[in-house]
């Protein structure tokens, strides 16, 4: 079941993004809502028949995936202090297939949905920089180019 889940994710070119997403969760950088959201997104794909798993199989596979990546739904206050309030860093994910919510403790956020909304990403980027945030932006080159965001031009980490 886990192999099935992984292979389908890979077919959707989500493997790298999911890995990064899960790593951030594992390190306690995401709010609980985002973790639940990520699982709900996978569940919605299964409901559409993407993974070809029944509910019992899917829940088992999701549990295995969760355990294998050491995910926790408990938000680490230490990491929130370290990454959000002190360094004012945001990780923004731009992908053609997923909906990712990036939030910070300062309530600056973006819902980036799919492949058409490059302007929103650029507006978000500009607003964040004006507010003194440092952004880590991850995504395929063609999306970064169309959004007008060049990671090489980002301000260096403080």
- Residue of 97, 93, 140 whose CA lies nearest to 121: 93
Query: How far is the C-alpha of 99 from the C-alpha of 93, rounded, in Å?
Result: 9
Averaged pLDDT, 57-61? 74
Averaged pLDDT, 55-80? 56
Query: How far is the C-alpha of 94 from the C-alpha of 27, rounded, in Å?
Result: 20
Domains of the chain, residue spans: 2-68, 77-153
Q: Which long-range contacts (CB under 8 A, 24 or more apart) does 70-74 make?
A: 70/26, 71/22, 71/25, 71/26, 71/35, 72/25, 72/26, 72/28, 73/32, 73/35, 73/36, 74/28, 74/32
Q: Is residue 81 pLDDT above 70, yes or no?
A: no
| Per-residue model confidence (pLDDT) at position 57 | 76
Averaged pLDDT, 61-86? 48
């Amino acid at each position: 079941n886990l192999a099935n889940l992984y292979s389908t994710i890979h077919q959707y070119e989500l493997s790298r993004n999911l890995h990064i997403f899960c790593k951030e969760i594992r390190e306690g950088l995401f709010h609980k809502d985002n973790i639940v959201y990520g699982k709900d997104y996978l569940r919605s794909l299964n409901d559409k028949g993407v993974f070809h798993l029944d509910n019992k199989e899917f829940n088992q596979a999701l549990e295995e995936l969760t355990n294998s990546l050491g995910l926790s739904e408990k938000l680490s206050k230490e990491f929130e202090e370290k990454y959000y309030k002190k360094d004012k860093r945001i990780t923004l994910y731009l992908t053609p297939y997923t909906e990712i919510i990036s939030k910070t403790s300062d309530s600056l956020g973006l819902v980036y949905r799919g492949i058409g909304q490059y302007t929103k990403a650029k507006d978000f980027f500009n607003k964040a920089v004006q507010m003194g945030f440092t952004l880590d932006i991850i995504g395929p080159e063609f999306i970064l180019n169309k959004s007008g965001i060049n990671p090489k031009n980002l301000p260096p980490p403080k």
